Amino acid sequence: MGLIRGYQGHGIGYLGLACGFGIVIGIYLASFIGALIGLFVTMINGFKFKYFRTLFFDISDVNGKIKFTIRKFTPISQYRTIKTNFTDKEDIMISVMQLAVMWAMSIFIFAPIFFGGSAQVDLYEDNVYNFFRGIAWAIILDNLIITFLTISAHVNAKKSLRGRLKQIGREWINGKQLEDMELPPHEQLGLKTTKYDILMYEGLRFMQKLYLGFYSELLPIVEFLEGNLTKGYIRSEAPVFYTIIFYYSYINRNAEKAAYYFGEAEDDLKHDMDSDGRRVMAYYEYYILGQKEQAKKAAMDGLKVIDKFSICDEEREQERKLLEYILYEAE
């Protein structure tokens, strides 16, 4: 009996290990599948593809051409598609479609594994079964979390910072100047929010004060952004890194900090051929590295694509001014 109990305990340990390993794999698969679904649903609704990234692999639209590159490892699959003229109704419809596809895949593929029972034939088959059950656990739990967050975001749209960001975006596209908008610190708004939304909102506040020339008011915003970045670089926060690099390269020239944040975002920034990425690269190369010719090339590349990138006239003109300024400085 002692020998039998010892074998069973050993088997249970392996079963737990198999399930745990399945959960780890499932977390990645949930991210990967979710990103693919988001990419598919948004693109069939008229969004423009910008990038898809998973593990070491990156597929990006670079000036209208699809480019495949090997990048730094990331365990989180990420994508970006853009469309500037969609309504709240379309936003809700896209969310419903994403949730529907996500749950359909889970029900027909993973639910039988999740709710099924082990055949209990031998230890090997139990391990395989528990590995796949761990995957199912992770994916279905991820679905529940995403469903809750999505519904909550739409229900609380008028009471959330994300809803406010969408309103700002629509007003900006429709011609209202960012500098004419009232953008107090996020704490004063009293809105429900997430860390990502706060970072994006404070990034807008940085742009507003930059456009107005209120350089002395930028440091508190930058310090807040620095203190709230996700530990470990993720591409969705690239605009925040760009803001910080630009600030420490030009406004408050701090070579040590500029180099640190550049090192974190270097892989993306060097491959970013949009006008804002080229602008940040140009200012970093000129003011921190002292490389005039490289700075001029980056600025000229940014000017070439400026009409393809900017979401509204004001942003386009401000980017143009900043790019032309660094060209003048580098002469």
Asked if 225 and 244 count as a contact pair (C-beta separation under 8 A), the reply is: yes
pLDDT of residue 310: 63
- Domain positions in the chain: 2-47+83-155, 176-330
pLDDT of residue 267: 85
Q: Does domain 176-330 have CATH number 1.25.40?
A: yes
34-74 pLDDT, tens digit each: 888 888 888 888 888 888 888 888 887 766 778 888 777 77
Would the pLDDT of 245 be above 60? yes
d(CA 99, CA 104): 8
Name the least confident of 22-26, 196-200, 256-260, 326-330. Answer: 22-26
**Average pLDDT of span 182-198:** 86
Paired with 157 in beta bridges are none
Q: Closest by alpha carbon to 65, among 78, 77, 80, 51?
A: 51
pLDDT of residue 137: 80
291-322 pLDDT, tens digit each: 999 999 999 998 988 877 666 778 888 899 99
Would the pLDDT of 256 be above 90? yes
Paired with 53 in beta bridges are 58, 78
pLDDT of residue 12: 46
Would the pLDDT of 95 be above 90? no
Mean pLDDT of the chain: 81
pLDDT of residue 179: 81
3-state secondary structure of 144: helix
Two tokens at 121?
Answer: 């034939």
Radius of gyration of the chain (CA): 24
Percent of the chain scored above 70 by pLDDT? Answer: 85
Would the pLDDT of 284 be above 80? yes
**Average pLDDT of span 224-234:** 87
Would the pLDDT of 4 be above 50? no
pLDDT of residue 291: 93
d(CA 323, CA 279): 6
Two tokens at 331?
Answer: 């002469």
Highest mean pLDDT among 112-121, 136-145, 281-290: 281-290
3-state secondary structure of 2: helix
pLDDT of residue 13: 52
d(CA 88, CA 164): 12
First to last CA, the chain: 87
